[in-house]
């Protein structure tokens, strides 16, 4: 929980700084994340404690020769390395992406259910409920989840609406246990 709060604080700070300078930090972190995902060696160097901060910074400098990052991004990554907080980068990236989407008026979410697909009517009903709760209309992606017995679970940012049989049975079970 503390790591998520810290990641959100870092994300908000770097997002605001970059927004002032008209820089898309989400784009730059996406590029970095793609490099990390393609290279186990890069991932190991950045995230394992086997390497010194200086070695990690040298590896990033090599990456900067291939891809031009803004100085704000470079300084932010150096700060995370020096503070021993680079492990928060995946959470920071996720939070920055959400902040950028919000600033542009985009809101993304996921609907999970047991079926292969969801009907347009059901998707629109879920979207309307979420829009009423959030004040914005989210773009929803459907994912099949074989662990759901029946019903749907919608997740948008930190909000989750769980209208599955499984969650209703769990609530019933807990209410019996309280008595």
Among 109-118, 130-139, 148-157, the range scoring the smallest mean pLDDT is 130-139
Tell how far CA 86 is from the center of its chain: 16
Burial 78-111 (b: 16+ CB within 10 A, else e): bebbeeeebebbebbbbbbbbbbbeeeeebebeb
Tens digit of each residue's pLDDT (9 = 90 or more) over 55-110: 999 999 888 888 888 999 899 999 999 998 999 889 998 888 878 877 766 677 88
Longest Cα separation, the chain: 65
Tell me the C-alpha distance between 67 and 136, whole Å.
35
Helix, strand, or coil (residue 149): coil
Closest Cα partner for 103 from 32, 24, 159, 161?
24
86 and 46 in contact (C-beta within 8 Å)? Answer: yes
Residue located via tokens 């996720």: 94
Tens digit of each residue's pLDDT (9 = 90 or more) over 6-42: 888 888 988 888 888 888 888 888 998 999 889 889 8
Closest Cα partner for 131 from 112, 104, 111, 156?
156
């Amino acid at each position: 929980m503390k790591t998520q709060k810290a990641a959100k604080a870092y994300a908000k700070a770097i997002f605001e700084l970059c927004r002032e300078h008209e820089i898309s930090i989400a784009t730059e972190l996406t590029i970095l994340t793609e490099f990390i995902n393609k290279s186990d060696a890069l991932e190991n160097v950045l995230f394992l404690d086997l390497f010194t901060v200086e070695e990690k910074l040298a590896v990033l400098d090599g990456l900067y020769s291939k891809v031009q990052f803004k100085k704000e991004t470079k300084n932010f990554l150096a700060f995370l390395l020096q503070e021993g907080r680079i492990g928060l980068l995946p959470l920071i990236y996720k939070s920055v992406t959400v902040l950028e989407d919000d600033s542009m008026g985009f809101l993304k979410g996921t609907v999970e259910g047991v079926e292969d697909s969801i009907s347009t009517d059901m998707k629109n009903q879920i979207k309307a409920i979420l829009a009423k709760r959030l004040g914005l209309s989210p773009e929803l992606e459907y994912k099949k989840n074989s662990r759901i017995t029946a019903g749907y679970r919608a997740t948008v940012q930190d909000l989750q609406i769980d209208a599955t049989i499984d969650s209703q049975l769990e609530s019933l079970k807990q209410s019996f246990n309280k008595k």
